[in-house]
Amino acid sequence: MLLPGMDGSGELFAPLIQVLGADLHTQVVRYPPEQPLGYGPLIEQVRRQLPAGRPFILLGESFSGPIAVSLAAERPAGLLGLVLCCTFIRNPRPGLAWLSGLVPLVSPRLAPRALLSQLLLGRFATPALDQALAGALAPLSSATLQARLRAVLEVDATAHLQQIQVPLLYLQATADRLVPADAARLIERYSGDFQCLQLEAPHCLLQARPHEAAHALERFAKTVGTDQGDQVAGRSTSSRGCSE
């Protein structure tokens, strides 16, 4: 089960899904672009979509990390593992909290496309990825984006993380300009069965390095017992901490 980043569209999972292969069943969650919802209502929406009657693994990308963590802490039936990609359990940039007053001025239609590309893709940008990113953000209303930004500034899911009993894989991008490495270390501190894999990638790791990400997810899925690939995610048997 794939939970999307700040755009909420789920469209940006396309490169990953294309290389995962037909043997893996994926369920993409999409958040309403016109509803300014914070984490609480979004968690409720995702909860209603959790697979019933079959094993699954939950993947939370970027903005959706706290949602995935909160739901995994509830230990839903069938959950085998949790994957967090370029994400956080607290505001990943607390030093910029003073900018919260500017959130009401943020609009997806005013953000320069070149700036978004630099922040999210950097040197990994391609015309196709730039176009996909712009297309995913286009339907977002300003109120929706502002609500999601406020949610990031205020979130603290550490207590939920401590309740998780399934293996956790963290995919970390070495060239991430939004979420620092400290975010993964904080998650490790509060996790039980934790493994971190580093990939040379930007914040949009799953889009820029889909083949490498798919390989890691498939290997991890086999380890947690999803021999039929019912969902996307995984577990590694190597030591704690981030490795390349």
pLDDT of residue 108: 58
Q: Whose CA is closest to 12, among 145, 154, 206?
A: 206
pLDDT of residue 188: 95
pLDDT of residue 113: 78
Q: How confident is the model at residue 238 (pLDDT cuts 50, 70, 90)?
A: very low
Q: How confident is the model at residue 180 (pLDDT cuts 50, 70, 90)?
A: very high
Q: Whose CA is closest to 194, among 138, 236, 227, 154?
A: 236
pLDDT at position 173 over 90: yes
pLDDT of residue 164: 96
Q: How confident is the model at residue 229 (pLDDT cuts 50, 70, 90)?
A: very low
Q: How confident is the model at residue 235 (pLDDT cuts 50, 70, 90)?
A: very low
Percent of the chain surpassing pLDDT 90? 70
Domain residues for the domain of 81 are: 2-243
pLDDT at position 234 over 90: no
Q: Are 51 and 117 in contact (CB under 8 A)?
A: no
pLDDT of residue 104: 55
pLDDT of residue 107: 59
Apex CA 179: angle with CA 177 and CA 181, to 5°? 100
**What pTM does this model have?**
0.88
The mean pLDDT of the chain is 87
pLDDT of residue 28: 97
pLDDT of residue 240: 59
Number of folded domains that form the chain: 1
Domain of 147, CATH number, reads 3.40.50.1820
pLDDT digits (tens, 9 = 90+) for 67-125: 999 999 999 999 999 999 999 999 987 765 545 554 554 555 666 678 889 989 999 99
- The two structure tokens encoding residue 58: 């939950």
Mean pLDDT for 147-166 is 93
Mean pLDDT for 38-43 is 97
pLDDT of residue 217: 93
Q: Whose CA is closest to 61, among 239, 228, 224, 201?
A: 201
Q: Whose CA is closest to 108, among 201, 6, 28?
A: 6
DSSP H or E segment with residue 197: strand 194-199
pLDDT of residue 53: 84
